[in-house]
Amino acid sequence: MQRRSTISPLLSLPGAVPAEGPDEGVAAHYGDLFREQRALADGTGLVDLSHRGVITVSGKDRLGWLHLLLTQHVSELPAGEATEALILSAHGHIEHALYLVDDGETVWAHVEPGTQEALLAYLESMKFFYQVDVADRTDEFAVVHLPAGSIAEVPEGVVVRETPQGRDLFLPRAELESYAAANGPAIGVLAYEALRVEAHRPRLGFETDHRTIPHEVGLIGPAVHLQKGCYRGQETVARVHNLGKPPRRLVFLHLDGSEVHLPGHGTPVRLAADGEEGRQLGFITTSARHHELGPIALALVKRNVPVDAELLAGSTAAAQEVVVEP
């Protein structure tokens, strides 16, 4: 059950339609999906991501300690510089994704909704003699996304994680409603997700399953540093990078726009030539309706699927673009 603190007050805004699944607690949209997408692409408005988990790590050993646990090189992370990182299983499978920034005294990270408790438990178990303090700050802070180009002001003292896609604010939860009123319009997560799919950015729990390794979804580089010391799962990362190929690869799909319904997460992907009864070669991870491109999706398919093959997502025709090279 979702905690009361993660039910956004912005759901009371006119036209707000609640999101479902992992994004429950914030608005899917506020009545006009394409208008919201265009606003976001133009650098206006804000996205309420207050359902995401917020973790902080403080203490003088924080960066060196996290460097031992994460896939990213963070031992000398400059204050204010954004990065992202993974925590892998012993077999190299993705378990957690963290979106980080250090403010000079504390590392702030936002994570997928509902994953913060398991992440916190793991981090606590790895503290040993290091001088670090790990805390779940989800009840206190809400993540708000300002798109690239936004001229919205950031309140003094608010931690900001700035990336090419925009700025993620770790806003005191009590200020969320007033900040949105001053810097809106509020934009729902469906618009945010559509632009994420367009940009081929994978999301934990959508483009990943229990056996996903970073190579399959294009996270070598953005979230995995290949020239750093040991961390859990590093052997798999190095072996696949140096000696082999990942078993699956992420693709971007242009879907047949004549279909009324989008293929949902988990919809089988097959070769169009084999028809709907053909062998399953992958599955849809995220689908969206884009204001310019129409119906689009990301999918995870077997590495040996020809890059020029026409595909079927369920019964929907799909043309692929390469995201991860076979």
Tell me the per-residue pLDDT of 121-179, one tens digit each, with 9 for 90 and over.
Answer: 999 999 999 999 999 999 999 999 999 999 999 999 999 999 999 999 999 999 999 99
**In the prediction, which pLDDT does 142 show?**
98
Domain boundary among 160, 176, 199: 199
**Would residue 179 count as lying in a domain?**
yes
CA angle 37, 249, 245 (to 5 degrees): 150
The CATH number of the domain where 281 resides is what? 2.40.30.110
User: How far separated are the first and last CA of the chain, in Å rounded?
Assistant: 40
**Would residue 241 count as lying in a domain?**
no
**Would residue 186 count as lying in a domain?**
yes
In this predicted structure, the answer to whether residue 1 has a pLDDT above a threshold of 50 is: no
How many residues are given for the chain? Answer: 326
**Would residue 127 count as lying in a domain?**
no
* Same domain membership, residue 280 and residue 183: no
* Same domain membership, residue 267 and residue 167: no
**Would residue 70 count as lying in a domain?**
no
Name the amino acid, one letter, at 19.
A
Here the tokens at position 93 are: 């499978």
* Same domain membership, residue 35 and residue 167: yes
For residues 205-229, average pLDDT: 96
**In the prediction, which pLDDT does 4 show?**
40
In this predicted structure, the answer to whether residue 88 has a pLDDT above a threshold of 70 is: yes
**In the prediction, which pLDDT does 257 show?**
83
For 214, the 3-state DSSP assignment is helix
**Would residue 105 count as lying in a domain?**
no
Between residues 26 and 4, the one the model is more confident about: 26
Name the amino acid, one letter, at 224.
V
| Residue 224 bridge partners (DSSP) | 220
For 96, the 3-state DSSP assignment is strand
By residue range, what is the domain housing residue 281?
A: 247-325
pTM score, two decimals? 0.95
Query: For residues 113 and 23, what is the distance between their CA atoms, to the nearest angstrom?
Result: 7
**In the prediction, which pLDDT does 300 show?**
98
Q: How confident is the model at residue 256 (pLDDT cuts 50, 70, 90)?
A: very high
* Same domain membership, residue 163 and residue 15: yes
Query: For residues 97 and 272, what is the distance between their CA atoms, to the nearest angstrom?
Result: 34
**Would residue 222 count as lying in a domain?**
no
Q: How confident is the model at residue 3 (pLDDT cuts 50, 70, 90)?
A: very low
For residues 244-261, average pLDDT: 92
* Same domain membership, residue 299 and residue 186: no
Cβ distance 301 to 264 under 8 Å?
Answer: no
Cβ distance 261 to 297 under 8 Å?
Answer: no
* Same domain membership, residue 45 and residue 149: yes
* Same domain membership, residue 288 and residue 189: no
Q: How confident is the model at residue 258 (pLDDT cuts 50, 70, 90)?
A: confident
Provide the b/e sequence for 142-151 (b: ≥16 CB within 10 Å): bbbbbbeebe
Tell me how many domains the chain contains.
Answer: 2
**Would residue 159 count as lying in a domain?**
yes
Give the phi and the psi of residue 89 in degrees, each rounded to 5: -75, 175
In this predicted structure, the answer to whether residue 37 has a pLDDT above a threshold of 50 is: yes
Tokens 């093959």, located at residue: 309
Radius of gyration of the chain (CA): 20
**Pick from 238, 297, 301: nearest CA to 269:** 301
* Same domain membership, residue 194 and residue 304: no
Sequence-separated (6 or more) residues with CB below 8 Å from residue 244: none
Cβ distance 130 to 65 under 8 Å?
Answer: yes
User: Average pLDDT of the chain?
Assistant: 96
Domain boundary among 162, 180, 199: 199
**In the prediction, which pLDDT does 146 show?**
98
Query: Which of 74-83, 120-129, 258-267 is the least confident region?
Result: 258-267
